[in-house]
């Protein structure tokens, strides 16, 4: 036997009877649910609630709240936020330049800024790390060339010895070592600028200043190579010129190796500026002594007149070096801000 719907029966009884049932109190959801059987499903309960209750607009009471302690004033309505006039407007509220939504500064007392140091510069640290890695790779690829140069550096060249020509990769890595040497020289002069010339420049960043120094150093090496090639081709021939270019690239690479500890000690271990300058000058003297020795062994070993080597060395080594130093100092003084 099927159970009949109690709601339908209640409705039928209400319609079939002649009497009118008047409800003095509104129905509650509990009364409607009590009409259903105990095993009614949630869907049937929801249908019964929707059949007897319809959503309507809620009308909140507008009577004042009198539920307060005797002798005390009524409580403040939290829904009302009436601010005083001086909180809403100010003297500059109608100005077009008044923007209260923008931050006007930081709270508290500003502290002293941390002074600039090379050890805290991530870009220079990354450059030095890249230079070290590239130099290790380059020395690994041109080790045969370096071994030959070290073997025949202090020996007199003879006509019977057949020189081995370097490969294209060895030539590229030699030029890369020259670039690393130029970068180290630019960093050393940047340290010199910070200690002896000034700290403020018209440039936006100190990296631009280092790039300018790097460009001047590369131009110095390129012009120097051009001067050597022009003079040696005129007075000594192409064979000795080629031999000298190989030796000069090796000497420049040695110069970069000597300058690398100075950059590390001066930038990261706070080496005294005077000791760092002494080390750099000593390294330059060693490099120039090696240079004048190879000039003598390649070009002037068989010449009777010894004065020519000094003229050659002063013209192609000392004068360009002094010009290079003057160009760097002039550039730094031109870009410095004088208060």
The residue among 227, 182, 214, 204 whose CA lies nearest residue 331 is: 214
- Which pair of structure tokens corresponds to residue 318? 């000392």
**pLDDT at residue 2, as a whole number:** 43
**pLDDT at residue 323, as a whole number:** 93
Sign of the torsion formed by the C-alpha atoms of 218, 221, 225 and 231: positive
- C-alpha to C-alpha distance for 111 and 183, rounded to whole angstroms: 35
Provide the b/e sequence for 284-297 (b: ≥16 CB within 10 Å): eeebbebbbebbbb
Q: Would you give the DSSP letter of residue 120?
A: G
- C-alpha to C-alpha distance for 259 and 280, rounded to whole angstroms: 7
CA angle 149, 324, 194 (to 5 degrees): 105
Q: How far is CA 278 from CA 186, 271, 296, 321, 332, in A?
A: 17, 11, 27, 17, 21
pLDDT tens digits, 315-335 = 888 899 999 999 999 999 998
**pLDDT at residue 96, as a whole number:** 73
Where the chain has pLDDT below 50, the residues are 1-20, 160-162
**pLDDT at residue 100, as a whole number:** 67
> 326-329: which pairs have CB atoms within 8 A and are 24 or more residues apart?
327/216, 327/220, 328/189, 328/213, 328/216, 329/197
**pLDDT at residue 214, as a whole number:** 93
pTM of the model: 0.64
- Which pair of structure tokens corresponds to residue 94? 């109608």
**pLDDT at residue 73, as a whole number:** 73
């Amino acid at each position: 036997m099927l159970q009949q719907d109690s709601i339908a029966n209640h409705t039928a009884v209400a319609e079939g009877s002649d009497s009118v049932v008047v409800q003095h109190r509104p129905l509650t959801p509990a009364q409607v649910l009590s009409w259903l059987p105990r095993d009614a499903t949630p869907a049937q309960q929801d249908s019964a609630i929707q059949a007897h209750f319809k959503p309507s607009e809620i009308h909140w009471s507008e009577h004042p709240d009198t539920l307060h302690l005797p002798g005390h004033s009524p409580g403040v309505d939290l829904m009302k936020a009436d601010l005083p006039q001086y909180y809403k407007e100010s003297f500059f509220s109608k100005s077009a330049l008044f923007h209260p939504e923008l931050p006007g500064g930081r709270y508290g007392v500003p502290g002293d800024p941390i002074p600039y140091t090379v050890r805290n510069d991530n870009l220079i640290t990354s450059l030095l790390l890249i230079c070290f890695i590239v130099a290790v790779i380059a020395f690994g690829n041109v080790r045969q060339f370096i071994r030959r140069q070290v073997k025949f550096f202090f020996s007199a060249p003879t006509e019977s010895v057949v020189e081995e020509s370097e490969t294209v990769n060895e030539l590229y890595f030699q030029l890369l070592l020259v670039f690393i040497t130029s970068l180290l020289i630019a960093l050393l002069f940047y340290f010199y600028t910070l200690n002896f010339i000034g700290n403020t420049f018209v440039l936006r960043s100190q990296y631009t200043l280092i790039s300018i120094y790097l460009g001047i150093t590369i131009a110095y090496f390129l012009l120097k190579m051009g001067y050597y090639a022009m003079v040696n081709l005129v007075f000594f021939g192409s064979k000795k010129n080629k031999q000298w270019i190989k030796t000069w690239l090796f000497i420049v690479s040695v110069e970069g190796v000597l300058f690398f500890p100075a950059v590390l000690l001066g930038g990261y271990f706070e080496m005294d500026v005077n000791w760092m300058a002494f080390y750099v000058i000593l390294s330059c003297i060693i490099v120039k002594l090696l240079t004048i020795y190879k000039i003598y062994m390649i070009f002037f070993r068989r010449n009777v007149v010894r004065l020519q080597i000094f003229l050659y060395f002063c013209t192609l080594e000392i004068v360009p070096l002094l010009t290079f130093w003057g160009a760097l100092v002039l550039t730094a003084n031109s870009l410095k801000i004088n208060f």
